[in-house]
Chains A and B, each alone.
Chain A
């Protein structure tokens, strides 16, 4: 927990804020872009994040992870701004997703590409795949893979049951991995297979 548990600190000088918080601007900006998928929206969200952090500086505990704290603020602002709809009923099949992921591993192994993810630059393909995910799936990926949240913390922040986090995460990872495998096929690292369409997925 990042909150201070003792006396509140005075507001920071701008120099202090620059040195301790704004140093993470490139990371937060990147994070905001993943969340919003729009550079103008991301800039607005990033600015809002830092202004909010400045206002709340007194409650940030010195010495704790400022980058993580900024990510948390950014994500919470994003979720609030998005005014999440209640159209989702998560009854995905995590076991089925895991099985599909396992099949992809078998395919890579059979073709001698167990080290696929270390061999080729998947950045552009992954960014495109992330952009194609529905926000509900992207949320769990960024919270768990970037913020390093626990499943329980993600469930709390997103106000969904932990099982929903689990199923969305597994599905998101399967979709991302499927996209990367197709990208590897396009580059000739893997032999083409019978493809399933990669979609952002509709939570069921």
Chain B
């Protein structure tokens, strides 16, 4: 049972928002923040919002693009350096 008096205040939790989402905090601090989030729907909503933002960045940047011609170019460059396909 968590003593609400010992919970971190919202402003301290939000100050660590990015570090938390990026996995930069140690286990003890992560646990304290999780404890706060378990009791504070305002901060939970905020963290959820920013988590969705980070997933959007990752999804957009990491979206593969069409590379057929470039693939041929790289294979040609490898061949030019003497690397051949197995006969």
Interface residues of A (CB under 8 A from B): 11, 13-15, 17-18, 22, 25-27, 29-31, 33-34, 43, 46-47, 50-51, 54, 95, 98, 101-102, 105, 108-109, 114-118, 122-123, 126-127, 130, 141-142, 144-146, 150-151, 169-170, 173, 176-177, 180
Contact = CB atoms under 8 A, between A and B. Distances in A.
A170 B18 contact: yes
Contacts of B58: 145-146
A25 B74 contact: yes
Given A26-B67, A29-B70, A98-B14, A122 B56 contact: yes
Contacts of A26: 64-67
Nearest to A54: B78
Interface of B: 14-15, 17-19, 22-24, 45-46, 48-50, 52-67, 70-71, 73-75, 77-79, 81, 83-86
A14 B52 CA distance: 40
B78 to A, nearest CB: 6
A126 B52 CA distance: 13
Dominant secondary structure at the B interface:
helix
Contacts of B74: 22, 25, 46-47, 50-51
11 contacts: A30-B63, A30-B65, A33-B65, A47-B74, A102-B46, A108-B49, A144-B22, A146-B62, A169-B18, A173-B18, A176-B57
A29 B65 contact: yes
The 9 A-B residue pairs with the shortest CB-CB distance in the complex, in nearest-first order: A26-B64, A117-B52, A126-B60, A30-B65, A14-B85, A29-B67, A117-B56, A25-B67, A123-B60
B24 to A, nearest CB: 6
Given A117-B55, A150-B24, A151-B24, A31 B85 contact: no
